[in-house]
């Protein structure tokens, strides 16, 4: 059912209060990708068990499969059933129009990422289109997130280790972060400090000193994308520094697929796959619970 403007405004205000709480009380909201109903159930159950505020997020491919309004309805149904504090994020939207549609559908968080579709997009183009979304989001108060350049990797499990020295070339800088935030008016800056999309055969490491410098340079929220495969102690330090949103995707997908493959092998004569999903949901839920703990978000939910 379509959201009214007043419903959207109320939810977005609650989302802003959640981000403010995160900064004040030194925790981060986990942003967990929603691939299907099973992953939504896993995230919701984890949030309920730990009384933690969470985001569920969809990117372009999930939106095409599920639809913005269907996602909104699904999330609201589970949010009400389990009594959790949960918001929706449109992740890495490559187009202004797609971001506007999510705002109209009542999404509380919008990540506009112009460089996702065009890795060579000019600074001027990225800034102008990001500003367009920021201006449109004032309609509901949705929280807008962005970054000034392409963020590497992919939501998958990779067999080849990444080159850390190459990744360092794409790190954010305090000066660049401030210039971008000032030019666009975004609410959340997606920092690149060693975080990288995807899962790799080597652990990721975050440049915490750089993160501190970025925190000192800007007043808005800071998010970390590409959290999968990152040792938990980095998250604990990051939230102390002032990160208030951390994205997790690949770790959940790996748990989902590997568990499903194992369950299917053990139940070769069962074709009602829905009967086999409990173990899969439990595996994904375990991943989400571990991240919530690392983010310091347990017990931080506010139920309206």
Rounded to whole angstroms, the Cα distance separating 7 from 257 reads 36
Rounded to whole angstroms, the Cα distance separating 258 from 278 reads 14
> What is the phi/psi pair of residue 246, to 5°?
-135, 130
Collapsing DSSP states into helix, strand and coil, what is residue 216? Answer: helix
Specify whether the CB–CB gap between 198 and 230 falls below 8 A: no
* Contacts of residue 280, Cβ cutoff 8 Å, sequence gap at least 6: 38, 256, 259, 260, 263
Q: Which residues of 86-97 are buried (b: 16+ CB within 10 A; e: fewer)?
A: bbbbbbbbbbbe
Rounded to whole angstroms, the Cα distance separating 220 from 110 reads 15
User: Which residues are catalytically annotated?
Assistant: 91
Specify whether the CB–CB gap between 172 and 214 falls below 8 A: yes
Rounded to whole angstroms, the Cα distance separating 240 from 238 reads 5
Among candidates 75, 178, 177, 190, which has minimal Cα distance to 144?
190
């Amino acid at each position: 059912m379509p959201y009214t403007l007043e419903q959207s405004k109320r939810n977005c205000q609650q989302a802003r209060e959640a981000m403010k709480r995160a900064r004040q009380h030194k925790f981060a909201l986990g942003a967990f990708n929603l691939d299907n109903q099973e992953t939504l159930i896993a995230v919701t159950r984890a949030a309920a068990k730990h009384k933690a505020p969470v985001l569920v997020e969809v990117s372009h491919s999930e939106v095409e499969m599920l639809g913005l309004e269907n996602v909104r309805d699904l999330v609201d149904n589970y949010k009400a059933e389990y009594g959790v504090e949960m918001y929706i994020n449109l992740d890495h939207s490559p187009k202004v129009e797609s971001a506007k549609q999510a705002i109209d559908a009542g999404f509380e968080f919008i990540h506009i990422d112009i460089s996702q579709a065009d890795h060579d997009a000019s600074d001027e183009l990225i800034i102008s289109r990001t500003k367009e979304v920021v201006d449109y989001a004032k309609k509901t108060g949705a929280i807008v997130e962005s970054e000034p350049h392409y963020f590497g990797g992919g939501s998958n499990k990779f067999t080849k280790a990444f080159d850390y020295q190459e990744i360092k070339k794409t790190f954010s800088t305090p000066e660049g972060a401030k210039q971008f935030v000032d030019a666009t008016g975004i609410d959340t800056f997606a920092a690149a400090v060693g975080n990288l999309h995807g899962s790799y055969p080597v652990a990721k490491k975050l440049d915490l000193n750089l993160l501190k410098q970025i925190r000192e340079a800007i007043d808005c929220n800071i998010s970390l994308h590409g959290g999968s495969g990152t040792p938990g102690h980095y998250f604990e330090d990051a939230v102390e520094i002032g990160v208030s949103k951390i994205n997790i995707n690949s770790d959940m997908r790996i748990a989902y697929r590997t568990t499903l493959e194992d369950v299917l092998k053990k139940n070769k004569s069962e074709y009602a796959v829905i009967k086999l999903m409990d173990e899969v949901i439990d595996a994904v839920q375990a991943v989400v619970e571990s991240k919530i703990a690392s983010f310091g978000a347990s017990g931080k939910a506010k139920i309206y």
